[in-house]
């Protein structure tokens, strides 16, 4: 297996979360959809000055567009395959009333998969 395809893990809200990196074809498709959400604001993300600032703005834009069905679908697809403490996650049950955890996880997933699009890219702790 390629090193860049190793399972990624983090601790958020006291639980260990794991997900596999997106294969190039899947990741490119998600990135295209993220660009549509960000629209003209993508340059603002890139110019944020650091990874955390850029990713935070990206998540803020996702949250601001949650009323669009395609954004919710994108978030659900991006979190498919997510595991919590080794067990598969049921999106609707796991994140009901726990949106702060959902957005922290989305921020982590975007950072790990697409952080190279932001200045000073690399992994950040969430």
Residue 41 CA to residue 2 CA, distance in Å, equals 33
Nearest to 48 by CA among 39, 58, 38: 58
pLDDT at 54: 64
Average pLDDT, the chain: 80
Q: Are 103 and 39 in contact (CB under 8 A)?
A: no
Q: Is the pLDDT of residue 123 over 50?
A: no
Q: Is the pLDDT of residue 60 over 60?
A: yes
pLDDT at 70: 78
For the sheet with 8-12, list strands across it.
Answer: 8-12, 15-19, 83-84, 87-88
pLDDT in tens, 9-35: 999 999 999 999 999 999 999 988 887
pLDDT at 72: 83
**pLDDT greater at residue 124 or residue 99:** 99
Reported as a pLDDT band with limits 50, 70 and 90, residue 115 is confident
pLDDT at 50: 59
């Amino acid at each position: 297996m390629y090193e860049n395809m190793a399972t990624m893990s983090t601790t958020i809200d006291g639980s260990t979360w794991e997900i596999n990196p997106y294969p190039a074809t899947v990741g490119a498709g998600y990135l295209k959809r993220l660009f549509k959400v960000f629209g003209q604001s993508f340059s603002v993300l890139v110019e944020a000055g650091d990874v955390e600032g850029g990713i935070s703005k990206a998540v803020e834009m996702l949250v601001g567009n949650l009323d669009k069905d395609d954004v919710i679908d994108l978030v659900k697809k991006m979190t498919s395959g997510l595991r919590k403490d080794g067990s598969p996650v049921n999106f609707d049950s796991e994140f009901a009333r726990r949106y702060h955890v959902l957005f922290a996880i989305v921020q982590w997933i975007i950072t790990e998969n697409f952080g190279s699009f932001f200045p000073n890219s690399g992994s950040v702790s969430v």
